[in-house]
Structures are given as structure tokens and as C-alpha cells.
Amino acid sequence: MRHRHCLATAFLCALISLFSLFTSAAIAADIPVISTAELKKKMDAKETMVLADALSSIEHKEKAIQGSINIPSSKVKGNPNLPADKNTLLVFYCLGPKCGKSKMAAKVAQTLGYSNIMIYDEGLPAWMQNGYPVTKAANYPNIELTRLTPQQLNDMAKSVTILDIRDAKHKESGRLAGAIEIDMDDLEEKHSTIPRNKKVVVIDHAAKQVVVAAKFLSMNGFKDLAALDGGMMAWVAAGLPVSK
């Protein structure tokens, strides 16, 4: 029975992730995509535009396309970095085709009345592969981050502080009981609320954001840090308990 439950839970998590990818693509289907070459041409020509990084402020400060500003996908509405003229070309990017943040941000901007929106779907990885300029606003320390298996974290859960940095959509696959939930987009503002008397174990969706989050926490005085290897996807796949 336990094996069947594990398989069913893992299948549900994979289904939610797949649905999220299709949903992100669908909601942005009417928003045009701009290629790396086209974006570089516009920037070299100094065309009027706003290039917006849809990742968190922590990630933006670590590395961003030169000339871009930060509008996290969860903070588009009311963001002071949005152009006053809603006809201004507004281009959102994040970490490539598998990253849905740029699509989500673009869709919100569209609902706010912005009429000239594009998505740079190839994102930061393609920009860097072409050797185009990036900026770095923060010097996060290099750290040796301990990786815990789902079972290891489950065994020590009561003796550590679990920090869940996933966004609301990814939390739909389940939550960890007792975890402190701070969206990555809010971590820079709210990290001071995290207890420092225990090891802090950072978890995200697929272990893609935990390193930069841990570097940021280390820079701000957190000494005992670890991460869930494989993220919440690995936890669910292991059949370990989740709550809704």
C-alpha cells in the first residue's frame, strides 16, 4: 500500500508540474517572443524599452542582463519600475524556456493595460552563452552547501528550521508541516524573521534556487545551512508526508 501511495503522490506532483508548464505557455500564447539576436539589436540601437528580470531581487543582484531592471513575477502590480507609458516596449526575461516567471510577469502586465509586451524566452543563459554583458550587484560568498536526501531531512525535521522558498503555484504540490514559508521574491525583505538557533534547511521546487538563497543567507550571518537535494519534487517522489 505504501508503495502504491508513493507512486500516486509522485505522479500527482509530476502532473502538477507539467500542468504548470502548459498553463504558463498557454496564458502567454498571445504575447510575442523576442530572440537573443533581436533583443541585442534593439539594445545596441538604444531603442526605447524596459527590459525586466522577472526573478527575485536576490537572483537579480547576483547576475542580470546589463541595462535590465528587476520586476519579480509576484510583484508586477504596483511595481515602481514599470514604465508610466503603457505603450512602452516591455520585455520580460528569466532563466530560459523552462522558467515560467517571465511568462507570468508578462501576463500580469498585460492585465494592467500594457500593450507592447514581449518575452525574451531564451533568457539569461542564452545571453551569457553569446558573451553579451551582464551585471553583478552583490558579491555573495562561495559556500559549501550540505545536501540532504529527503529521508535525512525527514529524520531530523524536528531539530532544524525548514525554510520553504517556493512560490504559491509550486506549493500546490504539497507543503512540509512546520516549515517557515518565505517566497524567494520576499526573502531579501523577510530573512530577518528566520530563527538562527538551529540549522536552516532551504527547500525549493527542484533545487534550482537553493544555492543563491543560501549564499544570500550566509552573507547575512546565517552560519549553519543546508538544502534539500532535488527539492520538493524529490521529497514527494520519495513518498514522504505532505500537507495541503
- List domains and CATH numbers for the chain: 31-135 (3.40.250.10), 146-237 (3.40.250.10)
d(CA 36, CA 190): 34
User: Does the structure show a pLDDT above 70 at 233?
Assistant: yes
Contact predicate 227/203, CB 8 Å: yes
User: Does the structure show a pLDDT above 70 at 10?
Assistant: no
pLDDT for 76-115, tens place per residue? 999 999 999 999 999 999 999 999 999 999 999 999 999 9
* pTM for the structure as a whole: 0.86
Contact predicate 51/65, CB 8 Å: yes
% of the chain at pLDDT higher than 70: 88
Q: Considering Cα of 131, then 188, then 21, then 43, what sign does the dihedral take?
A: negative
pLDDT for 60-78, tens place per residue? 999 999 999 999 999 999 9
d(CA 73, CA 89): 17
CA distances, 94 to each of 6, 101, 102, 153 (Å) = 33, 6, 6, 30
Query: In DSSP terms, which residues pair with 226 in a beta bridge?
Result: 146, 201
pLDDT for 138-195, tens place per residue? 999 999 999 999 999 999 999 999 999 999 989 998 999 999 999 999 999 999 999 9
